[in-house]
Amino acid sequence: MVKIAVYGYGNVGKAAIEAINAAPDLELAGVVSRSLEKGALGEIPIVRNIDELKGVQVAVLCIPSRQVPDVAEELLLKGISTVDCYDIHSQVYDLFTRLDAAAKKGGSVAVTSVGFDPGIDSAIRGLFEAAAPKGLTYTDFGPGLSMGHSVAVRAIPGVKDARSITIPVGSGLHRRMVYVELEEGADFNTVATQIKADPYFVHDETHVIQVDDVESITDVGHGVTITRKGASGSAHNQRFRFEMSIDNPAMTAQMMVSVARAAVKQAPGAYTMLHLPIIDLLYGSQEELIRRLV
Amino acid sequence: MVKIAVYGYGNVGKAAIEAINAAPDLELAGVVSRSLEKGALGEIPIVRNIDELKGVQVAVLCIPSRQVPDVAEELLLKGISTVDCYDIHSQVYDLFTRLDAAAKKGGSVAVTSVGFDPGIDSAIRGLFEAAAPKGLTYTDFGPGLSMGHSVAVRAIPGVKDARSITIPVGSGLHRRMVYVELEEGADFNTVATQIKADPYFVHDETHVIQVDDVESITDVGHGVTITRKGASGSAHNQRFRFEMSIDNPAMTAQMMVSVARAAVKQAPGAYTMLHLPIIDLLYGSQEELIRRLV
């Protein structure tokens, strides 16, 4: 049994607990949360500090991306392996090198940027490129809720709550449908203009719609289509397509938990979805997995 | 530069040469062929025995599946790593264990069952299962030419030449459209009855069509759709889909050549597509690949 602690108790943390409980070879050591009251999850231990839990091998970090670097580094130096869903694409490599150093020092394993995208999408893009090294890959997200864009809108003055929905328009371009609930007295046109000028939205076709109750339109489903058209050797027009339609926090949490299983099998250092043997993510004997999946 | 020998000069062997020549970090050491005349490929060395080539690190085996076990084992014991496209699914695990022993003895690496299916499809099935461990995966092949089924038909008395086309009917079931060119004097109905009773066809809806010239309908394109509907933790109805439409020998050869690059980075032993880190298949520095693909 691999002993796993879940860090954070938002949508992803809750789903990680479900994924661990559904796996025959994984054991939930407890939940690390600053806000959750003790006893709130029945017999599952809730702690403020991971040191209160015994024998944790892997911590699954279901926390905001910005908190990941410091939290992961501290755990890795303690010898506890980590899996995170860090999703700031432009910073992944810097985080990877930082966690690699910490993991090698602590004799632990860091797997970073696991989940949807980066995550399963990263592995798919890599496989497609191995099959057709020359060509173009497009990643088209949606339709679905973008957490990052929603957070950006909520930071704009006059916005009480918001959800930004990503609509794929093809070739890696996206339309943003932004549903806002306004503070009393806020001016819709002023808010809409600010949203459209925000760096998160300025390059995309963006529509802002006022609603009375953002909660009533909330659905955490999401999707993606990845297409590659390329050449294998001298054979052109090779076509590859991946589509996924999912409960996003549940898929993200499940992939992190599958990766936690793989983490304990790797040598100390940092990894991404591109670095892990797929077989290590799966439950079962090597013989059974080869016979069934290869 | 990784020095690679290509074994065999059929459709897959020819495409492997193209894939090696298109890669900046791979070098073609020569072609091992029993039938090809020396000088037939210009400056590319053609040899009867791989010992005539110097410094070969990996042999890409573009030969019939039944020849793979003996040829691969001999090379592995000599310390030459191998990549094969062995496709008899029911025997993959036995071959894996046999090659694992030989590779460990020879200090070499065997990667078995690389290409289309087994191959990229095996990796996709594994990834889908990591994202949604409970559920059903269907692999639907086609439309496209099945080499194995065509060979089976050609073995039937009265058949001069044949092509068996696989048509997907969903849920992992397939229709077989068999185009036959008959020997003079052969009776069509007798041949058709024998084809339908053959173990390759007896479980599938099979149609036999007589044609004058099988060569004129030949197209080596193929395709597949892999779908999984499953549960991530307690979230059901998670949907995953992979589609590919390709020149089959070219994709198979390209994947074998990408895997040859990975082979030299692994510890001695046997591997499948489920065992290799995807990043090892790709050309480029770790930093560039992480920044671009993760």
* pLDDT single digits (tens) A265-285: 999 999 999 999 999 999 999
Which chain A residues are within 8 Å of B291, Cβ to Cβ? 92-93
Residue A120, chain B, CB below 8 Å: the answer is: yes
Query: Closest partner residue to A233 among B18, B132, B133, by Cβ?
Result: B18
**Minimum distance, in Å, between the CA of residue B45 and any CA atom of chain A:** 20
Q: Quick one: pLDDT at residue B206?
A: 98
Query: Closest partner residue to A130 among B129, B253, B282, by Cβ?
Result: B282
Q: How many domains does chain B have?
A: 2
List, for residues B35-69, the tens digit of each pLDDT value: 899 889 999 999 999 999 999 999 999 999 999 99
Over residues B103-120, the mean pLDDT reads 97
Cβ of A232 within 8 Å of Cβ of B242? The answer is: no
**Minimum distance, in Å, between the CA of residue A12 and any CA atom of chain B:** 11
Is A243 a domain residue? no
CATH number of the domain that residue A95 is part of: 3.40.50.720
Is A126 a domain residue? no
Q: What tokens were used for A61?
A: 């970090």
A92 and A153 together in one domain = no
B146 and B221 together in one domain = yes
**Minimum distance, in Å, between the CA of residue A285 and any CA atom of chain B:** 12
Q: What tokens were used for A4?
A: 């796993």
Is A128 a domain residue? no
Which chain B residues are within 8 Å of A139, Cβ to Cβ? none
B158 assigned ligand-binding residue: no
Verify cis geometry, omega within 30 degrees of 0, for the bond prior to B118. Answer: yes
Please state, as a whole number, how many other Cβ atoms lie within 10 Å of the Cβ of residue A131.
27
Domain range spanning residue A221? 134-232
A114 and A140 together in one domain = no
Over residues B151-172, the mean pLDDT reads 96
A13 and A112 together in one domain = yes
Residues of chain A with pLDDT > 70, as a percent, come to: 100
Residue that wins the pLDDT comparison between B104 and B148: B104
List, for residues A223-236, the tens digit of each pLDDT value: 999 999 999 999 99
Cβ of A238 within 8 Å of Cβ of B257? The answer is: no
Is a pLDDT exceeding 90 seen at residue A9?
yes
- Cα separation, A242 vs B224, whole angstroms: 12
Q: What is the largest CA-CA distance in chain B?
A: 66
Q: Quick one: pLDDT at residue B113?
A: 98
B248 assigned ligand-binding residue: yes
The answer for A 5-34 residues in CB contact with B (under 8 A) is 15-19, 21-23
Q: Give a three-class secondary structure readout of chain B.
A: CEEEEEECCCHHHHHHHHHHHCCCCEEEEEEECCCCCCCCCCCCCEECCHHHCCCCCEEEECCCHHHHHHHHHHHHHCCCEEEECCCCHHHHHHHHHHHHHHHHHHCCEEECCCCHHHHHHHHHHHHHHHHCCEEEEEEEECCEEEHHHHHHHHCCCCEEEEEEEEEEEECCEEEEEEEEEECCCCCHHHHHHHHHHCCCCCCCEEEEEECCCHHHHCCCEEEEEEEEEEEECCEEEEEEEEEEEEEHHHHHHHHHHHHHHHHCCCCCEEECCCCCCHHHHCCCCHHHHHHHHC
Please state, as a whole number, how many other Cβ atoms lie within 10 Å of the Cβ of residue B49.
8
Residues of chain B with pLDDT > 70, as a percent, come to: 100
B92 and B191 together in one domain = no
B203 and B62 together in one domain = no
B218 assigned ligand-binding residue: no
A125: nearest CA partner in chain B: B293
B38 and B81 together in one domain = yes
**Last-in-domain residue among A201, A232, A263:** A232
**Last-in-domain residue among A187, A208, A232:** A232
Is B128 a domain residue? no
Residue A114, chain B, CB below 8 Å: the answer is: no
Query: Closest partner residue to B276 among A122, A259, A277, by Cβ?
Result: A277
B65 assigned ligand-binding residue: yes
Is B49 a domain residue? yes
Which chain B residues are within 8 Å of A89, Cβ to Cβ? 294
Q: Quick one: pLDDT at residue B147?
A: 82
B25 assigned ligand-binding residue: no
Is A186 a domain residue? yes
Beta bridge partners of A164: A146, A178
Is a pLDDT exceeding 90 seen at residue B190?
yes
**Minimum distance, in Å, between the CA of residue B143 and any CA atom of chain A:** 14
Which chain A residues are within 8 Å of B259, Cβ to Cβ? 130
- Cα separation, B233 vs A21, whole angstroms: 8
> Do strands B26-32 and B46-47 pair parallel, antiparallel, or not at all (unpaired)?
parallel
The answer for A 53-92 residues in CB contact with B (under 8 A) is 89, 92
**Last-in-domain residue among A183, A205, A232:** A232
Over residues B255-279, the mean pLDDT reads 98
Query: Closest partner residue to B294 among A122, A279, A289, by Cβ?
Result: A122
The answer for B 233-262 residues in CB contact with A (under 8 A) is 233-235, 238-247, 250-251, 253-255, 257-259
- Cα separation, B149 vs B154, whole angstroms: 9
Q: Quick one: pLDDT at residue B68?
A: 97
Is A38 a domain residue? yes
CATH number of the domain that residue A221 is part of: 3.30.360.10
**Minimum distance, in Å, between the CA of residue B30 and any CA atom of chain A:** 17
Q: Quick one: pLDDT at residue B202?
A: 95
Is a pLDDT exceeding 90 seen at residue A147?
no
Render the burial of A16-29: b for 16+ CB within 10 Å, e for the rest. bbbbbebbeebebb
Is B123 a domain residue? no
A113 and A138 together in one domain = no
B173 and B224 together in one domain = yes
A114 and A253 together in one domain = yes
Over residues A154-171, the mean pLDDT reads 97
**Does residue A188 contact residue A150 with C-beta atoms inside 8 Å?**
no
Query: Closest partner residue to A277 among B22, B232, B274, by Cβ?
Result: B274
**Minimum distance, in Å, between the CA of residue A18 and any CA atom of chain B:** 5
Cβ of B126 within 8 Å of Cβ of A282? The answer is: yes
How long a stretch of residues is chain B?
Answer: 294
Q: Quick one: pLDDT at residue B65?
A: 92
Over residues A156-167, the mean pLDDT reads 97
Question: Which pLDDT band holds residue B256 (cuts at 50, 70, 90)?
Answer: very high
Query: Closest partner residue to A126 among B124, B231, B282, by Cβ?
Result: B282
B114 assigned ligand-binding residue: yes
Is a pLDDT exceeding 90 seen at residue A148?
no
B53 and B113 together in one domain = yes
B120: nearest CA partner in chain A: A127
Annotated binding residues of A for NADP(+), as ranges? 9-12, 62-65, 114-118
Cβ of A16 within 8 Å of Cβ of B289? The answer is: no
A164 and A113 together in one domain = no
Cβ of A290 within 8 Å of Cβ of B272? The answer is: yes
Which chain A residues are within 8 Å of B225, Cβ to Cβ? none
Over residues B253-278, the mean pLDDT reads 98
